């Protein structure tokens, strides 16, 4: 690329120099010839006047004016014979042309020649021929032409140096962008493009940097999501394993209810896998509002038996006119599963799930029990004892535009979910008396 930029720049400069220099050199040559002919014309006229008196009285002129070194001056009589000076013994075509009573001289094909008549009144009694080699005129222009050629060379050298500098400036950022692209292709997302001071290249570098950061963030989120999702799958797998091991140790406990319970656990596991896959594929897709009443009833049905084995109970409550949140049902189901699993493992006493309004544009789902509760740091994954389910629940809530908060004494974990613009505006949802207290639909 560098050699191509330098070549193009030199070609453009050479073309410009030639386009300007060649007509200038030709014009200078034409001007020099014109000035030389004018000077020779003046010298020929002066010579004709100086020899006029002698030739009018049939005397041979004895002297001629001094001219330039390369200029020959010759005087011819009316018979076209050389009388005085340097020139052919017989006058050439230009002398014959003048002696034939022509008013102007005809230039010779070779040297620059100027011929002027010597008059005696109206009669032409002779001619003065002044000539100089054309090479002498062009020789005088040689220093000027050499100077122009030297100047053109200096211009080309300067253009070459400038083109090299521009090529380095242009190719350097492009080479860095290419190197960054190679690193990005090799999986290195830590590239940080440097500004080049060229708008277009800086724009390309910024786009490449943003792409690297997005890919880095995407991979980090996918890795974290995969790790947390695998943890989410371990809980039902562990429950199923315990049931199967219990049956192996005590075959007499194998009843139809045990098999149905195991099949239900497998169904929940398959549904969890399907939901995680859907969430992984459609995290950026706007989902339909979740049916919160169905989700609460489903959670109560799923966790009531497990809590009952530990002597605990679960209740759910929601106002009958509470609108559904603008969130994915799969995401809300997974979040509630994590919160109930955490309440089952680390909580105590009865577990309650209650939904309520939280301002004009959000609803809150509180999962509470009588245990000590979890610190807010557990939601960020900073408390290893709480496992990885809570960070997954927090990520899912944030992906749905919501938030997850935790409070201790009493233990309450609150899931805040947004309402869609339609529901937040209050229409056309179910009619409700704003002054009346919310009516709770207690199912258990």
Task: Using the structure block, give the residue that is written with the tokens 């910024």.
Answer: 206
Evaluate whether 233 touches 387 at the Cβ level (below 8 Å).
Answer: no
Which distant-in-sequence residues (6+ apart) come within 8 Å of 223 by Cβ?
A: none
Containing 362, the helix (H) or strand (E) segment is strand 362-369
Gap between the Cα atoms of 302 and 272, Å rounded = 13
Q: What is the mean pLDDT of residues 246-263?
A: 79
Pick the more confident residue, 37 or 428.
37
Q: Quick check: 113 pLDDT over 70?
A: yes
pLDDT tens figures, 311-330: 899 999 999 888 888 888 88
| Mean pLDDT, range 283-295, rounded to an integer | 73
Q: Which two tokens stand for residue 97?
A: 């042309």
Give the model's confidence band at 382: pLDDT under 50 very low, under 70 low, under 90 confident, else very high.
low
Q: Residue 436: is its pLDDT beyond 80?
A: no
Query: What percent of the chain lies above the pLDDT cut of 70?
Result: 86
Structure tokens of 440? 């709770």
* Per-residue confidence (pLDDT) for residue 137, from 0 to 100: 83
Q: What is the pLDDT of residue 410?
A: 83
Distance CA 176, CA 231 (A): 42
Instruction: Tokens for 112, please give them.
Output: 């620059």
Looking only at the bridges linking them, the beta strands covering 403-407 and 411-418 are antiparallel
pLDDT range class, residue 441, cuts 50, 70, 90? very low
Task: Tell me what the mean pLDDT of segment 272-278 comes to.
Answer: 72
CA pair distance 77, 98, nearest whole angstrom = 11
From 34, 68, 73, select the one nearest 50 (Cα to Cα).
73
The CA distance from 232 to 238, in Å, is 11
Alpha-carbon gap, residue 174 to 219, rounded angstroms: 27
Domains of the chain: 1-142 (3.30.450.20), 199-284 (1.10.287.130), 292-418 (3.30.565.10)
User: Is the model's pLDDT at 73 over the cut of 80?
Assistant: yes
> Which range (28-37, 40-49, 379-388, 398-407) has the least confidence?
379-388
- Does residue 52 have a pLDDT over 90? no
Confidence at 287, pLDDT banded by 50, 70, 90 = low
């Amino acid at each position: 690329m560098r050699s191509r930029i330098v070549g193009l720049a030199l070609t453009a400069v050479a073309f410009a120099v030639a386009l300007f220099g060649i007509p200038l050199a030709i014009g200078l040559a034409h001007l020099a010839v014109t000035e030389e002919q004018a000077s020779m014309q003046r010298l020929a006229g002066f010579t004709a006047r100086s020899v006029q008196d002698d030739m009018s009285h049939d005397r041979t002129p004895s002297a001629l004016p001094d001219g330039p070194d390369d200029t020959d001056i010759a005087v011819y009589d009316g018979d076209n014979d050389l009388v005085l000076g340097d020139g052919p013994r017989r006058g050439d075509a230009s002398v014959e042309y003048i002696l034939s009573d022509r008013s102007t001289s005809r230039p010779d094909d070779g040297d620059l020649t100027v011929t002027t008549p010597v008059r005696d009144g109206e009669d032409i009694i002779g001619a003065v021929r002044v000539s100089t080699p054309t090479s002498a005129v062009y020789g005088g222009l040689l220093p000027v032409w050499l100077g122009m050629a030297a100047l053109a060379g200096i211009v080309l050298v300067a253009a070459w140096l400038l083109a090299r500098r521009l090529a380095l400036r242009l190719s350097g950022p492009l080479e860095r962008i290419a190197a960054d692209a190679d690193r990005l292709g090799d999986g290195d997302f830590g590239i940080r493009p440097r500004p080049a001071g060229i708008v277009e290249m800086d724009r390309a570098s910024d786009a490449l940097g943003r792409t690297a950061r997005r890919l880095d963030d995407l991979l980090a989120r996918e890795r974290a999501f995969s790790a947390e999702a695998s943890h989410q799958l371990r809980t039902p797998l562990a429950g199923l394993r315990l049931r199967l091991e219990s049956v192996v140790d005590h075959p007499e406990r194998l009843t139809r209810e045990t098999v149905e319970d195991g099949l239900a656990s497998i169904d929940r596991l398959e549904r969890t896998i399907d939901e995680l896959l859907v969430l992984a594929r459609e995290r950026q897709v706007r989902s339909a509002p979740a049916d919160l009443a169905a989700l609460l009833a489903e959670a109560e049905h799923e966790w009531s038996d497990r809590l009952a084995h530990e002597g605990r109970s679960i209740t759910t409550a929601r106002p009958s006119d509470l609108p559904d949140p603008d969130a994915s049902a799969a995401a809300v189901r997974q979040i509630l599963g994590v919160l109930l699993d955490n309440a089952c493992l680390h909580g105590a006493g009865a577990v309650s799930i209650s939904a309520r309004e939280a301002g004009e544009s959000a609803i809150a789902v509180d999962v509470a029990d009588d245990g000590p509760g979890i610190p807010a740091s557990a939601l960020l994954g900073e408390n290893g004892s709480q496992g990885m389910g809570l960070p997954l629940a927090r990520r899912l809530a944030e992906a749905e535009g919501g938030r997850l908060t935790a409070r201790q004494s009493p233990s309450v974990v609150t899931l805040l979910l947004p309402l869609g613009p339609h529901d937040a505006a209050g229409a056309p949802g179910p009619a409700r008396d704003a002054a009346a207290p919310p009516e709770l639909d207690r199912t258990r």
